[in-house]
Amino acid sequence: MIVAERKKIQDLLEIVKSHKKLLVLGCGTCVTVCLAGGQREVSIIASALRMAAKLKGQQLEVEELTIERQCDNVFIEQAAEAIQRNDAVLSLACGAGVQAIAERYPSKPVYAGLDTSFIGILEERGIWTEKCAACGQCVLHLYGGICPVTRCAKHMLNGPCSGSREDRCEVDPNRQCAWQLIYKRLKEIGQLDRLKKIKPPKNWSRSQSGGYRTILREDHRV
Amino acid sequence: MKPEVFEPKIIAFCCHYCAYSSADLAGSMRIQYPPNVRIIRTPCTGRLETEYFIKAFENGADGVFIAGCLEGGCHFVEGNICAKRRVNYTREMLEEIGIEKERLRMVNVSAAMGRPLADLIIEMVETVRKLGPNPVKLNGSSKKESRL
């Protein structure tokens, strides 16, 4: 899932200061699961904004709404009336959701209420960890299901480096060395020989070079 | 004529298994505590969310007081520890908003602590009295205001 964090209340207030009527729009998918932009967070942030605005003498009316998914036109439709009756939208979705709303309503200012952080998982209650860099060419099959691009601080495809100490990363001793994990996992599944092969440099043209990426599926076009 | 003393309105979320019983005990023992607190019984302080505290302030509470079981004594094992973390998070958020964090406080008591609970309530009322009314109430009006 996409993991995000809320911005500070005073920063949000600064972002929306030129507006009198604001819609705080939540998203019921990834950001709900990572406790950043779901219905509950919409309610908290809306109340916090109302109070902070009052304390600063700013006139601000805040409406709350959460839709199932902001990155999908079908669901965006449900927010149409609320968006129309407000001066601006503070979207508590990931960057994709914010842009989808902005594209759909070109005359309405749409702002991001969250900082979208990474693609990750819930490691344990209250801890989310990055697992995927969306690099465009997955190499997980070569490394026992552990991604060196994301989890090695040096993104090494032919590791480990000489800096790891007792399975800890030299960049941050609180982190496990991804390459130690890869070695242990490949040994466990009997695929250590994969490490004997030197991997050529990765094709980064499928990552973030040359602007945004698109995927075209002719079989699904209408 | 005496100057009017500010009487704060404080929402007290009290756990059914400890603080609510100790407030009851305080009553049975004829121990006085200020009538500034509005007690809300909760099944466990672990049931409380940041949203509850924020909404209480938005609706005009001058303070929010949370009383849970002693650490290690929660009926649901760790509900009071969860509540403590949420209270700490909300205190930081209150500071971001511009509200004094001292207006939100969590204490731990057992069901037998009638006197200590009354003392803690008196302390909380005095703290909030010194801070004055909830600043949100003083700055302009809103339809949501003064629902207490």
**Opening angle at CA A169, ends A165 and A171, nearest 5:** 120
Q: Which of A187-196, B85-94, B137-146 has the lowest mean pLDDT?
A: B137-146
Do A9 and A70 lie in one domain? The reply is: yes
Do A96 and A137 lie in one domain? The reply is: no
Do A110 and A43 lie in one domain? The reply is: yes
Paired strand residues for A91: A25, A112
SS3 (DSSP) at B96: helix
* Domain-embedded: residue A213: no
Do A77 and A114 lie in one domain? The reply is: yes
Do A84 and A176 lie in one domain? The reply is: no
The Cα–Cα gap between B116 and B26 comes to 9
Tell me what pLDDT residue A79 has. Answer: 96
The Cα–Cα gap between A112 and A88 comes to 11
Do A7 and A111 lie in one domain? The reply is: yes
Quick: pLDDT tens for B59-73. 999 999 999 999 999
Tell me what pLDDT residue A158 has. Answer: 96
pTM as predicted? 0.91
Do A24 and A107 lie in one domain? The reply is: yes
Hey, of B52, B54, B101, B138, which one would you mutate to test binding to chain A, going by the most A CBs within 10 A of its CB?
Answer: B54
Domain boundary among A59, A85, A118: A118
Do A86 and A141 lie in one domain? The reply is: no
* Domain-embedded: residue A106: yes
Residue A161 confidence (pLDDT) above 60:
yes
* Domain-embedded: residue A78: yes
The structural domain count of chain A equals: 2
Quick: pLDDT tens for A45-88. 999 999 999 999 999 999 999 999 999 999 999 999 999 999 99
User: Cβ–Cβ of A56/B54 closer than 8 Å?
Assistant: no
CATH number at residue A104: 3.40.50.2300
Chain A residues in contact with B54 by the CB 8 A cut-off are 44, 47-48, 51
Chain B residues in contact with A24 by the CB 8 A cut-off are none
Do A102 and A13 lie in one domain? The reply is: yes
pLDDT average, residue stretch A141-162: 95
Tell me what pLDDT residue B147 has. Answer: 56
Domain boundary among A118, A146, A163: A118
Residue B143 confidence (pLDDT) above 60:
no
* Domain-embedded: residue A113: yes
Whether the CB-CB separation of A113 and A91 falls below 8 Å is answered with yes
Do A111 and A149 lie in one domain? The reply is: no
Host domain of residue A16 = 2-118
Quick: pLDDT tens for A104-125. 999 999 999 999 999 999 999 9
Rg (CA), chain A: 22
* Domain-embedded: residue A211: no
Whether the CB-CB separation of A181 and A146 falls below 8 Å is answered with yes
The Cα–Cα gap between B80 and A213 comes to 47
DSSP run (H or E) holding B64: strand B63-68
Give the confidence band of B5 by pLDDT, cuts at 50, 70, 90.
confident
Do A18 and A102 lie in one domain? The reply is: yes
User: Cβ–Cβ of B93/A48 closer than 8 Å?
Assistant: yes
* Domain-embedded: residue A222: no
Hey, of A6, A12, A32, A55, which one would you mutate to test binding to chain B, going by the most B CBs within 10 A of its CB?
Answer: A55
User: Cβ–Cβ of B96/A54 closer than 8 Å?
Assistant: no
Do A151 and A55 lie in one domain? The reply is: no
Mean confidence (pLDDT) of chain A: 95
* Domain-embedded: residue A67: yes
Q: Which residue has the higher pLDDT, B4 or A158?
A: A158
Residue A128 confidence (pLDDT) above 90:
yes
Residue B90 confidence (pLDDT) above 90:
yes
**Opening angle at CA A96, ends A94 and A102, nearest 5:** 105
Give the confidence band of B98 by pLDDT, cuts at 50, 70, 90.
very high
* Domain-embedded: residue A27: yes
